[in-house]
Amino acid sequence: MSFRQTVTKYFGNHAETSENHWDANLQTHYFKTTKEKGLQAVEEYFKRSDSYEIVAQSKEHGEISVNYTGGRKAFIIATVIMVKPYRTAIDFSVTTESILPFDFGFSHNLIPKLYSQLKKELTFLETSMTKNADL
């Protein structure tokens, strides 16, 4: 991890996934499901846990906004997009609420935990389709 990546991870209060993220844990994850079932799995996970409170949901846009209250407070946006039949991308954006302008990596570390839970519910395919652009 470079110095810049370390600063980004530990001295910020926001993290989000992307197709070509430098951290493999924060690359877009693809699952073998439809948009509707992916969105339902994300929603059910958040509803089952006392640490999450769904604030808003847009099935048309494939987004769920959630407040996280498990110790620290954070705001999460989950985005579900079907890119091909039975190949659905799920991305997260996490912003930690804090007096300080940084969260010591909390937002960065919450995303892999979310993906880990989804992998128990959905069939995981891969991260970052750009590695396999012909799929």
pLDDT of residue 102: 72
Residues 59-77, mean pLDDT to the nearest whole number: 94
104/35: higher pLDDT? 35
**Residue-range domain boundaries for the chain:** 3-127
Q: What are phi and psi of 47, to 5 degrees?
A: -70, -35
Q: Looking at residue 17, what is its pLDDT?
A: 95
- Do 75 and 94 contact (CB within 8 A), yes or no? yes
Cα distance between residue 11 and residue 85, in whole Å: 39
Structure tokens at 135: 């799929």
Reported as type and span, the H/E element at residue 115 is: helix 106-121
* pLDDT single digits (tens) 73-104: 999 999 999 999 999 999 999 999 877 777 78
Structure tokens at 21: 């993220």
Neighbours of 6 (CB within 10 A): 11
The reported pTM is 0.88
Q: What pLDDT is attached to residue 41?
A: 97
Amino acid at 65: S
Taking the CA atoms of residue 48, residue 50, residue 51 and residue 55 in that order, the dihedral angle to the nearest 10 degrees is 70
Which of 8-17, 33-42, 45-54, 56-65 has the least mean pLDDT? 8-17
Pick the CATH number of 3-127 from 3.30.70.260, 3.30.530.20, 3.40.30.10, 3.10.100.10: 3.30.530.20
Q: Which amino acid is at 134?
A: D
